[in-house]
Amino acid sequence: MPSGCCCPPSTAPRARRLGRTAAAAVLVPLCAAAVLIGAVRAWDVTTARQSVRARRSYAAGMIKPIELVIFDCDGVLVDSERIAVRIQVLLGAELGWPLTEGEVVDRFMGRSHAAIREQIAARLGDDTAALWAERFELLHREAVDAGLAPVDGLPEALDALDLLALPTCVASSGSHEKMRHTLGRTGLYERFAGRVHSSTEVARGKPAPDLFLYAARRMGVDPAACAVVEDSRPGVEAARAAGMRVFGYAGGLTPAERLEGPDTVVFHDMRRLPALIGGR
């Protein structure tokens, strides 16, 4: 009998078989549980896989060259955030929720109309939230028609990106109707025609990554090869969650420190964007 074995030679193979059977009895339920958990999470599997793959490329040090630049709209392409904030402050005073400009930036900026309306409804009720939304749309349209311009330095930045042969698109919390209006008034809509994406097309708005992952999928580019230009805290958080590189534009209303974070370059002059992207 070999030393160190407590079984007779005739029973040792049977003991090994029993050991394998016991191990299988433990492993099979564990595997089944893992499958069940995966099934529960399958509702968002495409979005999750895209985000995880992109983040893993960073962790492994395999940073891909930038193949697509995704622009937010308000405050990045067109200087409309100042208009929106001013109107929100006005409506808050008129309808019973006094807000400072800083509070509007923190609560509303970068979020979808639906998310903003939910906040107002929770505070003032559904009827007031509906009136607020109606008044905002009217006042915003009038202000845009009275005078809206591209963000300072934006046309030069787009021209330089064209020279770099970098594809671009738009992914905004605003509706398509709103973007047709604001981008149309500034002569930018045709420049992005067919490459404009709205949070109305996805289940969750910023700071969830859905919109940016959707834009990358529609453009046929790996999220890890995308760069996002954003000017709001929810926007930069959404881009990071999507595993994309972020360029936080601090030349608008959001303080630079609110944009800072991993995989993020904060800048103040839109004319610098092409050089920053070219260096990544």
pLDDT in tens, 85-105: 999 999 999 999 999 999 999
Q: If pLDDT is split at 50, 70 and 90, which confidence band does 244 have?
A: very high
Q: Is 70 exceeded by the pLDDT of residue 1?
A: no
72 as an active site residue: the answer is yes
Asked if residues 116 and 99 have their Cβ atoms less than 8 Å apart, the reply is no
Q: Is 50 exceeded by the pLDDT of residue 25?
A: no
Name residue 9's amino acid.
P
Q: Is 50 exceeded by the pLDDT of residue 41?
A: no
Q: What is the mean pLDDT of residues 64-93?
A: 97
Amino acid 10: pLDDT: 44
Catalytic residue among 74, 79, 210, 231: 74
* CA distance linking residue 218 with residue 224, whole number of Å: 15
CB under 8 Å to 276, separation ≥6 — which residues?
247, 265, 267
Query: Would you say the C-alpha torsion 140, 141, 146, 150 has a positive or negative sign?
Result: positive
Closest CA to 101 of 115, 81, 72, 74: 81
Provide the whole-model pTM: 0.77
Structure tokens at 141: 């349209």
79 as an active site residue: the answer is no
Q: If pLDDT is split at 50, 70 and 90, which confidence band does 206 have?
A: very high
Catalytic residue among 72, 79, 210, 231: 72
Q: If pLDDT is split at 50, 70 and 90, which confidence band does 280 have?
A: low
